[in-house]
Chains A and B, each alone.
Chain A
Amino acid sequence: QSVLTQPPSASGTPGQRVTISCSGSSSNIGSNYVHWYQLLPGTAPKLLIYRNNQRPSGVPDRFSGSKSGTSASLAISGLRSEDEADYYCAAWDDSLPGRVFGGGTRLTVL
């Protein structure tokens, strides 16, 4: 069982907006940055959002992140077929100490 909790699945149709939640605690999300990663089949993970809401260069502005208290969210607007992938949140946990990941959310574009 992962320290950070994500829904196992999410779905949407092309053009829709979907959000993926990530719930933690005061020792991780509550006191540290949240980062999001995209895993496409057969490829290495890709950084999507860092420090809660920052986008690396090259990541479309359709992707956005937010954080409030001990929870964070990844939003994808204008959903496209190529967004079908697994998404993971991560944060440092001061109580371990160590890095913790969510269990991952598989996004299906219907």
Chain B
Amino acid sequence: EVQLVESGGGLVQPGGSLRLSCAASGFTFSDYYMDWVRQAPGKGLEWVGRSRNKANSYTTEYAASVKGRFIISRDDSKNSLFLQMNSLKTEDTAVYYCVRDKISDYWGQGTLVTVSS
């Protein structure tokens, strides 16, 4: 059974940093592209970024709204995906989802990040 479990969310002040983790199980993690997608309170889904698989050199892509502030990385040996979030803004407040593959066939339950003073 495919499982994605996010962790690391919480309350952080504007300008601060936070690192989210996603523990994957039930599939060959190294074979898959992985995305981060967020949903701000009362808003729609927003793609944050992508980590491609080893076959595609682990290249990454980012939404314009987070480029230069967020970094996606992965550790295939630990079946884990990470999102390093720096220079956080109040508008980054959202539930962050770890999502499998280009078609987003499996989603974690999400972790809430609140950016507030």
Contacts and interface: CB of A to CB of B under 8 A. Distances in A.
A99 B109 contact: no
Contacts, number: 54
A99 B61 CA distance: 9
A33 to B, nearest CB: 8
Q: In the complex, which of the residues B46, B50, B103, B108 has the most CB atoms of chain A within 10 Å of its own CB atom?
A: B103
Contacts of B45: 37, 39, 45, 88, 90, 101, 104
A78 B11 CA distance: 43
A2 B102 contact: no
A24 interface: no
A44 B108 contact: yes
Interface of A: 2, 33, 35, 37, 39, 44-47, 50-51, 56, 86, 88, 90, 92, 96-104
Nearest 8 CB-CB pairs, A to B? Answer: A99-B47, A50-B103, A44-B107, A104-B44, A101-B45, A47-B105, A103-B44, A45-B107
